[in-house]
Amino acid sequence: MIRKYNRQNFEAANQTDFAIYIKDDNENVMGGISGEIFGNWMDVDYLVIHEVCAERG
């Protein structure tokens, strides 16, 4: 629902997809986040944290 509103109210040029991930010293992916940025808003689609990191709080 928020994406429909955002697409109607922001120009396509103002929309940016993003993906960020974090690796440990052994190059294993430990977590990541992806989504879209509209103007000053960030819409998170996925947030993934490896269970080892999640146990740390």
Q: How far apart are CA 43 and CA 55, in angstroms?
A: 25
**8 Å CB contact between 21 and 31:** yes
Predicted pLDDT at 38: 80
Q: What is the pLDDT of residues 3-20, one digit of tens each?
A: 788 777 766 667 889 999
Q: What is the pLDDT of residues 42-56, one digit of tens each?
A: 999 999 999 888 777
**8 Å CB contact between 32 and 18:** no
| This model's pTM is above 0.75 | no
CB atoms within 10 A of CB 30: 16
Report how far Cα 41 is from the mean position of its chain's Cα atoms: 12
User: Residue 28 belongs to a domain with what CATH number?
Assistant: 3.40.630.30
Predicted pLDDT at 57: 63
| Closest-CA residue to 40 (of 20, 17, 14, 19) | 14
Number of domains in the chain: 1
Predicted pLDDT at 54: 79
User: Structural domain of residue 25, as residue ranges?
Assistant: 2-54
